[in-house]
Amino acid sequence: MSALDIKAVLREELGNIAPEIDISSVDPKADLREALDIDSMDVLTFITAIHERLGLAIPEVDYPKLMTLDGAIAYLSAKLQSH
């Protein structure tokens, strides 16, 4: 799966959580919680959706790595290559 494919999955799942936000306008380095005004339950929903879509186990200690688009893409790319 390419970085573009991962980015598309992330944007789709974030769009499910915050449909009123234009995800394409979010800075890829911005903290998603602040950029999308989402709470901890939304973050958990997002991570669960990514787990289900990509079939990857994401330990809680790694959740902070998923809090920016760039960070999430890098983390998931590495996980998918080693999977």
Per residue in 8-59, pLDDT (tens digit) is 999 999 999 989 888 888 899 999 999 999 999 999 999 999 999 999 999 9
Number of domains in the chain: 1
Query: Taking a C-beta distance cutoff of 8 angstroms, is the pair 78, 58 a contact?
Result: no
- Cα angle: 17, vertex 23, 25; to 5 degrees: 150
Indicate which CATH number applies to the domain containing 77.
1.10.1200.10
pTM of the model: 0.91
Residue environment code for 36-51, b if the CB has 16+ CB neighbours within 10 A, otherwise e = bebeeebbeebbebbe
Calculate the CA 33 to chain-centre distance.
Answer: 11
DSSP state of 61: G
Domain that holds residue 10: 3-82
